[in-house]
């Protein structure tokens, strides 16, 4: 039986995947958001439909079936690595970060398999300046999951000074 933290990580991955699917279904279903259509929500945030044929920032755009399948294979391999890491990890915080990454990756892989592209819709902007490309909930989960992992890795590297150990200064 899996330890509780790993079950929480798998549950978080499933939740991220489910919410990502639901929001994307809302965008293309009831809201019928299509390419070049915009729904203004807030002065700094709109819903703006986009089809992302690449990865982050549209890099590595898949312009053929072979490239698309290659991109799916690479992202599926990465997701598999994240899942294995999550099953071997013991720190709850790391497991939850990995769960966020896994859920987001699965959401975007699903889009690539079903549509041939990832559905993006979130447009954060200040006037005409856009600090980010149009993104989706899966991207947010991946980003926050990676940030959690990075922050925890930096924190784990901090070692308290051991004032009782004088051998280091004696040998120097």
Number of domains comprising the chain: 1
Give domain status of residue 164, yes or no: no
Give domain status of residue 166, yes or no: no
Determine which one of 20, 94, 120, 123 is catalytic.
120
Give domain status of residue 57, yes or no: yes
120 counts as catalytic: yes
If one counts every other C-beta atom within 10 angstroms of the C-beta of residue 171, the result is 6
Give domain status of residue 100, yes or no: yes
Give domain status of residue 167, yes or no: no
- Residue 164 has φ and ψ, to the nearest 5°, of -85, -5
Range of the domain at 59: 4-156
Determine which one of 139, 162, 165, 166 is catalytic.
139
Give domain status of residue 40, yes or no: yes
Each residue's pLDDT, cut to its tens digit, for the chain (172 residues) gives 678 999 999 999 999 999 999 999 999 899 888 887 888 999 999 999 999 887 765 566 777 888 889 889 999 999 999 999 999 999 999 999 999 999 999 999 999 999 999 999 999 999 888 888 899 999 999 999 999 999 998 887 665 555 555 554 444 4
139 counts as catalytic: yes
Give domain status of residue 78, yes or no: yes
Give domain status of residue 148, yes or no: yes
- pTM for the structure as a whole: 0.84
If one counts every other C-beta atom within 10 angstroms of the C-beta of residue 73, the result is 10
Render 41-77 in DSSP notation, one character per residue: EETTEEEEEEEE-SSGGG-S---SHHHHHHHHHHHHH
| Sign of the dihedral through C-alpha 157, 162, 165, 171 | positive
């Amino acid at each position: 039986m899996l330890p509780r933290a790993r079950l929480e990580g798998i549950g978080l991955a499933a939740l991220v995947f489910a919410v990502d699917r639901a929001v994307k279904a809302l965008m293309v279903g009831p809201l019928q958001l299509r390419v070049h259509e915009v729904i203004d929500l807030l002065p700094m945030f709109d819903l703006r439909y986009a089809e992302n044929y690449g990865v982050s920032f549209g890099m590595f755009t898949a312009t053929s079936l072979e490239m698309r399948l290659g991109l799916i294979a690479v992202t599926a391999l990465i997701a598999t690595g994240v899942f294995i890491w999550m099953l071997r990890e013991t720190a709850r915080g790391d497991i939850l970060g990995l769960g966020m990454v896994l859920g987001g990756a699965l959401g975007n892989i699903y889009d690539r398999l079903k549509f041939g592209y990832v559905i993006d819709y979130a447009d954060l902007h200040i006037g005409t300046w856009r600090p980010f490309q149009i993104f989706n909930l899966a991207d947010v989960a991946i980003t926050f999951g990676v940030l959690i992992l990075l922050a925890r890795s930096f924190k784990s590297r901090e070692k308290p000074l051991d004032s009782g150990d004088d051998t280091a200064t004696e040998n120097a």
